């Protein structure tokens, strides 16, 4: 194979906005409620009902658009996208067609050590559909309209992404920003963040785009990367075999680790878009945009740089800490209470994050208050517990939600650092182990280890090892 190919990828992210109520009615957006319990005539599309735009959803959209450097449309207008499906109560979706809320944005990412600018083509606001389930062997399907009418932001890139890894890195960076804006849970498992991809290949150096294939049904960033890799490989082998790539929509099957054809372009629907007559177009006031722009939070990249500068952290640590806003906030809360920032960073990036992974939870759900982590670190510093004990205490803290002192106290883990007490214990041990003392004095240095062990046994391991060593050596030298 002499020819080399390059992959051209564009991504479409759907983001559920975390508003209290749905985008065109007053129903709750709470996740996981009883099916169809969060519905009303409007989101059920009942005859005679009319949509009213949720102002918060609109403001959240502007926030996202500004954070992604987009231009904001001065006139906001909605359109109807017409198609029939049982999860779509009105058989049309209120969306935005020719005048998306915002356009011409960009996101700078780092991928494989290189900086890259991914252009954002458009961001628009629309309503989500309901959810169909097909019970096994049943002759019917069930529909849950709790999700119908949830505010959904569609973020579409230009075909600027040139590898599956880059797609992964773009999504990671995008998710971090969206989380920083606090406009969405960005939880792929709950479906609050979803991603479709368009992928094509072309011979390296060629300007013209190849035939594009749309890939759907990837419910993690990892699957996006895998699916795109599969798709790129599949397309290359087709071209190598002198076969045609068909413009189509394919579904990622994570079980088979393959994409499977869903429908071809010929079957593509005519959505018959037209302006939504039930919502009056309105002008966006410049002052509102400027207010939102001014109130934008510090975004992940700026925060990384600040962490390196203000806390003297390594870029690596700073990046990990700022990859999640809650984690970064947590670090800064801790940093206010404790001098050694590097120690905090180590504890968060190692022990705490390990527990977050095990429990598959965020820092907040983990339940270790910043003051409690600092309490733990201070006990190490004051030599009340050893670093090793502290790791166990932390796990206990997560399990019981108690603070470090309570745990150390109730489990009797308090380290003995009282020199006089240790001195007493050592004298006692030495008096009972005359043979080992002699052995040591005769040059058997490992007798020392035995004697330390005896001291530890007497104290159930709670004696401060460095103090034990120091005093023991002093006595043996006598």
Partner 1 sequence: MQEPYLLTAHELQAKIGKDEISPSKILESLFKRIGDLDKRIKAFVRLNEECILKIPENKKGKLYGIPVLVKDNICVKDEETTCGSKILKGFKPPYDATVIKRLKDEGAIPIGKANMDEFAFGSSCETSCYGPTKNPWDLERIPGGSSGGSAAAIASDETILALGSDTGGSIRQPASLCGVVGLKPTYGRVSRYGLIAFASSLDQIGPITKDVQDAALMMNTIAGYDEMDSTSVDIAVPDYTRSLTKDIKGLRIGVPKEYFIEGIDKEVESSVKKAVFLLKDLGATIVEISLPHTQYAVSTYYIVAPAEASSNLARFDGVQYGFRFENASDLIDMYIKTRSKGFGNEAKRRILLGTYCLSTGYYDAYYLKAQKVRTKIKEDFDNAFKNCDCIITPTSPTAAFKIGEKMDDPLSMYLSDIFTISANLAGIPAISIPCGFTKGNLPIGLQILAKPFDEETLFRAAYTFEQSTGFHRENPKL
Binding site for partner 1 (CB under 8 A): 41, 44-53, 80, 82, 84, 86, 89-92, 143, 270, 272-274, 277-280
Rg (CA), the chain: 30
If the CB atoms of residues 10 and 89 are measured against partner 1, the closer one turns out to be: 89
Q: Shortest Cβ distance from residue 289 to partner 1 (Å)?
A: 21
The token pair that represents 146 in the structure block? 């709790």
| Long-range interactions of 220-225: CB distance < 8 A, separation 24+ | 220/188, 221/168, 221/171, 221/172, 221/175, 221/188, 221/195, 222/168, 223/252, 223/254, 224/11, 224/164, 224/167, 224/168, 224/171, 224/195, 224/197, 225/164, 225/165, 225/167, 225/168
Q: Shortest Cβ distance from residue 11 to partner 1 (Å)?
A: 25
Kindly list the distances between the CA atom of residue 63 and the CA atoms of 20, 126, 275, in Å, as whole numbers in the listed order: 17, 16, 24
The token pair that represents 360 in the structure block? 């598959």
- Residue environment code for 206-222, b if the CB has 16+ CB neighbours within 10 A, otherwise e: eeeebbbbbbbbbeebe
Q: Shortest Cβ distance from residue 99 to partner 1 (Å)?
A: 14
Kindly list the distances between the CA atom of residue 423 and the CA atoms of 405, 428, 439, 440, in Å, as whole numbers in the listed order: 25, 9, 21, 19
Q: Shortest Cβ distance from residue 239 to partner 1 (Å)?
A: 30
Q: Where are the beta strands (DSSP E) in 229-299?
A: 248-253, 258-264, 274-275, 282-283
Q: Shortest Cβ distance from residue 264 to partner 1 (Å)?
A: 17
Nearest to 288 by CA among 89, 130, 55: 55
If the CB atoms of residues 270 and 420 are measured against partner 1, the closer one turns out to be: 270
Q: Shortest Cβ distance from residue 145 to partner 1 (Å)?
A: 9
If the CB atoms of residues 45 and 159 are measured against partner 1, the closer one turns out to be: 45
Q: Shortest Cβ distance from residue 29 to partner 1 (Å)?
A: 19
If the CB atoms of residues 94 and 161 are measured against partner 1, the closer one turns out to be: 94
If the CB atoms of residues 78 and 170 are measured against partner 1, the closer one turns out to be: 78
- DSSP assignment string, 91-143: SEEEE--SS-SEEEEEEEEEETTEEEEEEEEEEEEEEPP-EEE--TT-SS-EE
If the CB atoms of residues 99 and 395 are measured against partner 1, the closer one turns out to be: 99
Q: Shortest Cβ distance from residue 157 to partner 1 (Å)?
A: 25
If the CB atoms of residues 40 and 448 are measured against partner 1, the closer one turns out to be: 40
If the CB atoms of residues 48 and 387 are measured against partner 1, the closer one turns out to be: 48
């Amino acid at each position: 194979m002499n020819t080399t190919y390059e992959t051209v990828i564009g991504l479409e992210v759907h983001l559920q906005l975390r508003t209290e109520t749905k985008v065109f009615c007053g129903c709750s957006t709470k996740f996981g409620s009883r099916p169809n319990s969060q519905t009303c005539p409007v989101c059920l599309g009942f005859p005679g009902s009319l949509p009213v735009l949720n102002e918060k959803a609109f403001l959240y959209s502007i926030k996202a658009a500004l954070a992604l450097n987009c231009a904001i449309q001065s006139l906001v207008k909605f359109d109807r996208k017409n198609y029939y499906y049982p999860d779509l109560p009105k058989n049309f979706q209120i969306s935005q067609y020719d005048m998306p809320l915002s356009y011409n944005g960009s996101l700078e990412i780092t991928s494989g050590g290189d900086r890259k600018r991914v252009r954002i083509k458009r961001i628009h606001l629309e309503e989500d559909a309901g959810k169909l389930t097909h019970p096994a062997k049943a002759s019917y399907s069930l529909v849950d309209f709790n999700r119908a009418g949830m505010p959904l932001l569609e973020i579409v890139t230009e075909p600027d992404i040139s590898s599956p890894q880059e797609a992964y890195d773009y999504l990671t960076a995008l998710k971090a920003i969206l989380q920083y804006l606090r406009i969405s849970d960005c939880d792929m498992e709950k479906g609050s963040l979803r991603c479709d991809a368009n992928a094509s290949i072309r011979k390296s150096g060629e300007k013209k785009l190849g035939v594009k294939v749309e890939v759907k049904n990837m419910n993690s960033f990892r699957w996006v990367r895998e699916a795109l890799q599969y798709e790129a490989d599949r397309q290359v082998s087709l071209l190598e075999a002198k076969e045609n790539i068909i413009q189509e929509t394919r579904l990622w099957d994570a079980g088979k680790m393959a994409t499977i054809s869903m429908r071809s372009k010929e079957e593509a629907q005519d959505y018959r878009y037209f302006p939504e007559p039930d919502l009056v177009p309105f002008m966006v006031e410049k002052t509102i945009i400027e207010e939102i722009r001014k109130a934008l939070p510090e975004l992940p990249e700026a925060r990384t740089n600040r962490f390196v500068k203000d806390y003297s952290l390594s870029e690596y640590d700073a990046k990990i800490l700022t990859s999640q806003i809650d984690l970064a906030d947590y670090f800064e809360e801790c940093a206010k209470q404790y001098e050694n920032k590097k120690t905090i960073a180590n504890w968060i990036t190692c022990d705490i994050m390990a527990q977050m992974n095990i429990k598959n939870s965020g820092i907040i759900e983990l339940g270790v208050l910043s003051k409690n982590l600092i309490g733990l670190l201070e006990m190490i510093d004051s030599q009340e517990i050893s670093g090793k004990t502290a790791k166990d205490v932390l796990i206990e803290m997560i399990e019981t939600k108690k603070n470090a002192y309570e745990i150390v106290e109730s489990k009797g883990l308090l380290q003995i650092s009282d020199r006089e007490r240790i001195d007493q214990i050592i004298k006692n041990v030495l008096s009972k182990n005359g043979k080992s003392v002699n052995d040591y004095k005769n040059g058997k240095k490992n007798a020392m280890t035995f004697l330390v062990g005896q001291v530890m046994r007497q104290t159930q391991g709670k004696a401060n090892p460095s103090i034990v060593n120091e005093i023991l050596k002093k006595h043996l030298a006598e």
